[in-house]
A and B are shown apart, each in its own frame.
Chain A
Amino acid sequence: MDVDLIFKIAAVGILVAVLNILLSRSGRDDQALMTSIAGLVVVLVVVVREISALFDLIRDLFGF
């Protein structure tokens, strides 16, 4: 777990935002929605693993 994770999520977010704007400007709103949903799923897959690791760590630390 490192600060790199923040930059990784932010990179995915910026990419999704740019794709979203491009697709919705060219009139393909359905694909824009799909792009943002796909980005969210990718990010969540990464994040859920890290959150589970953090909660395990807290349980190990504070559970006597």
Chain B
Amino acid sequence: MEIVSRAAAAAVVGSILALLLRKYTPELSLTLSLVTGVVIVWISATVASRITDLLRRLAENGALESIYVSPVMKCVGIGMITQLASQVCRDAQQGSVASAVELCGTLCALYVSMPLIDALLTTVEKLL
């Protein structure tokens, strides 16, 4: 609860300050909004660490196989980084750079999830 309120306060303050700077120094306004995003993700990382700890423990106990969990978590991380970067590029009105970053993120996510597809294929081959 207090994490959400801290994140919300940081978001509102950062947005208002970025709005103040937009007219005079647009590049610093963009940097400020980027920093606000980074701070908010950093605040929420404490929650994410608990979740990943739980998943890691499940994987160690054998409830979940780590070969299946690891691609999912990696995809989440790739998605977070890609989203942050592409939204900043879009704020700077550089849509083409944003799409390039998103394309790279998509390809990397596909590459990371290749073991899952491979496992599915092996299962199907075993069935046939």
Which residues of B approach A to under 8 Å, CB–CB? 6, 9-10, 13-14, 17, 20-21, 24-25, 27-29, 31-32, 34-36, 38-39, 41-42, 45, 48-49, 52, 56, 59, 66, 69-70, 73-74, 76-77, 80-81
Contacts and interface: CB of A to CB of B under 8 A. Distances in A.
Contact of B73 (A1, A55, A64): A64
Contact of B31 (A43, A55, A58, A62): A43
Given A10-B21, A58-B80, A40 B52 contact: no
A3 B25 contact: no
Given A3-B13, A6-B14, A6-B32, A13 B25 contact: yes
Given A10-B21, A61-B48, A3 B10 contact: yes
A58 B81 contact: yes
Interface of A: 1-3, 5-7, 9-10, 12-14, 16-17, 20-21, 36, 39-40, 43-44, 47, 50-51, 54-55, 57-59, 61-64
Contacts of B9: 3
A57 B20 CA distance: 31
A58 to B, nearest CB: 5
